[in-house]
Structure 1
Amino acid sequence: MDRKTVKLVAGLLCGSLMMATPYWYHAEDEDLTNQLSNIQQQMTDEANKKSEAEKTIGTVYEQLHAIQIELDTATAELKQVQADRIKLDQEITKTEAELKAAQDKLQAREKVFYKRVRDIYINGRLSYLDVVIGSKDFSDFANRMEMLKRILHSDTELINTIKVEREEIASKKAKLEEDRAKVLELEKVKQEKEDLINKKKAERQAVLEKAMNDRDTAERAYNELMASSASITAMLQQRAAERAAAANAAGSSGGGGGSSEATTWVQGTGQLAAPVNAPITSDFGWRIHPIYGTSRLHAGTDFGVDEGTPVHAADGGVVAEAGWISGYGYTVIIDHGNGMSTLYAHNSEVAVSAGQTVSKGQVVSYSGNTGGSTGPHLHFEVRINGEPHDPMGYL
C-alpha cells in the first residue's frame, strides 16, 4: 500500500473515531444522569420518610395517651348513642301505647258509625218533608226540626272525628316507622363505635406488648415512667417548700391580718384508709423484669378492681394534680400536709380537679386501665417528702 493510500485510510479512521466519540460520551452521560436522578429520588424518599417519622409520636406513653384520647372520645360517643337509643325506645313505647288507644277509640266510633249507616239503610233517612207532613202542630214541628238538626250534627261530628282519628293513627304509624328506622341507624352507629373502641384497645395492647417484649422499647418506657415519678417528686417537694416559706412569712409578720396558704391549708389526719376495698395484686418494691432480668422499682401497691370502681381519698387534703401523667394514665395526687401525699393512677376517669379540697373517703376517681397498665386495677402510692414509700406501712 503506497504512502498516499495509508494517509487516506488513517484520515478516514481518525474521522470515524472523532465522529463516534460524541455519541459514546452522550450515552455515558445519559446513564450517569439516570443514576443521579435515581439517587436524588431515593434521597427525596428518605427525606419524606424522615419527615413522616418526625411527625409520629415518639414515646411509648405519648402513644398510649394519644390512643387513650381517641378511646375516650369513642366511648363518650358510644354512651351518647346508647342514651339516644334508650330515649328513642321510650318514644316508640309511648307512641305504640298512643296508637293502640287511638285504634281502640276509632274502632268504637266506627262501630257506632256502621250501626248508624245500617239503621239508615233499614229505616230510611228522615227528610224535612216527613218532618213537615208528620207534625201535629208548630211546636211538634219545631221539636222535630231540632231533633233532626241534632241527628245531622251528630252524624257529621262522628264522621269528622273518625276522619281526624284515622289521620292521627296514620301519623303515629309514620312516626313509628321513622323511629324504627332511626333505631336501625343508631344500631349501625353503635356497632361502628364499638368496633372503633375495640380497635383502639387492640392498638393500646399492641403498644403495651411491645413495651414488654422489646428491650429498647421496654427500657424507654421504664425511663419515661421514672422521669414522671421524678417530676412528681420535684413538684411535691416544691409545694412543701412554698408552704413552709409561706408559714415562715406569716410567723415573722406576727400571723395577723393576712390570708396565706398556711392559714387556709387543709391538713390530713396522718392515718390513711385504703382507697378501695379489694385484694392486693402487686406489692411495693423492687422486682425482676420477667424477660430481661433487670431490676425495676414498683413505687406503689396495686389493688385488683374492675374498671369504673369508685376510688376514695385515703385522707383529707388538697388535690395537687388531676389528669394525665405519662406512664400513670389518668392520675390524682392529694397533698395531705406534713410532707405526706398519696397518688391514685391508671384511672378511667378523675372526679376532682387540681386545687380542690377533699375529705377522707371522698370519691376522687374511678379505676381503669390507662397509661402503662396491662389490665384494670388501681395503682396507689404513698409519698413522704415526695419520695415513694411502701403504702402498707401507712394503711
Structure 2
Amino acid sequence: MVKRAYQRLLAGVLLLGLSGLLGLGWSLPAVSLSKLSSHFFSSTPQTPYLAQVTNSVEELQRQQQRKEEERSRLQRQQDQLEGLERSAQKRLGGIQQGIRATAAQIAQNQAKLKAANQELVKLEAQLAKAEKSYQGKQSATVARLKFLQRQQGSRGWALLLESENLNEFLDRRHQLRRVYEADRTALAQLQTAAVAIERQRRQVEGQKNEVALLTQELQAQKVEYQAQAQSQQELINRLRQDRAALEAAEEQLARDSRNLAVLIQRLAGNRSRIAVRGTGQMAYPSIGEMTSSFGYRMHPILGYNRFHAGVDFGADTGSPIFAADSGVVIFAGWYGGYGQSIIIDHGNNLTTLYAHSSELYVSEGQSVQQGQAIAAIGTTGLSTGPHLHFEVRLNGEPVDPMSYL
C-alpha cells in the first residue's frame, strides 16, 4: 500500500513539473519531500498523512482535467477563427478585384465626361452663332416686309401704271415679283434656321443631361470605391490582429518546443532504468501520407519560413497513431501548442513525441511496444487540420525523424 502511494506521489510531483512548464499555475500543499520520504520509508505507516497527499494528487488530476477541457474549448474557438480568416481572405480578394474594376470604370467615365464637356462647349458656341445669325436675318426681313406692306396697296399698282409702255410695265412687274420671291425665300430660310437652332438646342440639352448623368454615376462609383476601400482597410486590420494572435501562439509553440527538451531530460532523469528499451530502428507512426518534412518550411498559417522540429502525417481524425519503437510513456496529456501529446522514452537518451492527438490510449508510466496504437489523429493545439506531428529527440534536442524511420 505504501509503495502504491509513493508511486501516486511521484506522479503528482511529475505533474507539478509539467504544470510549471505549461504555465498552468498549479501548486501542491506545502509538504517537503524529505518529510514525505521519511513517512513512506519508515517502518511505521502514517495513514492520515498519506491520505492527505493522495487527496492532493487527486485534486491536481481533477484540475488538470478541467484545464484540458478549457483548452479544448479554446481550440474549437481557434478553429472557428481560422475558418473566418480563410473566408475573410477570400472576401478580400473579391473586394480588391471590385476596386480594380471600379477604378477602371471611373477612368472611363472621366474620359467620357471630359469629351462631353468639350462637345458641350462646341455646341454652345455654335448655338450662340446660329441665334445671332437668326436674329440678324429676322430683323432685316421684318423691316423689309413692313416696308412692302406699306407699299403693297396703291403704291404697287401705281408703280405699274406709271409705266410708259408695255415693256416697262412687264419689267416692273418682274422686279416686284423678284422682291416678293426674295422675301418668301428669306422667310423659308428663317424657318429652316429656326428648325436647325431648335434641333441644336435639343442636342445641347441632351448633351447636358448626359453629362449630368455621367457625373452622378461617377460620384456614386466614387462613394462605392471609398466604401470598399474603408471595408478593405478594416478587413486588413482585422487580419493583422488575427495574424498577431497566431504569431503569438506560434511563439508559444516554439517556447513549448524549447521547454520540451528540459521536460524530457527531467522526466527521463527521474527514471534511472526503463522497463522497456527501443530497438533503435523505428517504424512509421502513421499510415497517412507525410505532408511536411523536418527543418525550415513555409508556415501554413503565418506565411513565412519557420523551423519545423518534426515531420507531419496527414490522416483523418480518429486514425490510429502507433508507437515508433518500444519504450515507456513519460508524458501523456496536454502540452501547449502541441495539444494532446505523448512522449515515449526509448532509452539511450532517445525519445519520440506524438502531438495534436484527439484521444490518448496510454498513460504516463505505461510500457508500450513498437507498433502499438497509443493515440488517435486529431487537430488539438496549434493546428490547421487533422494530422500527426511526430518528433524524434536525442538528448532532448530535435533531430530529423527520417534518419530513424
Could you say which TM-score interval applies, normalised by the shorter chain? 0.3 to 0.5
The higher radius of gyration belongs to 2
Could you state the TM-score of these two structures normalised by the residue count of structure 2?
A: 0.42
Could you state the TM-score of these two structures normalised by the residue count of structure 1?
A: 0.43
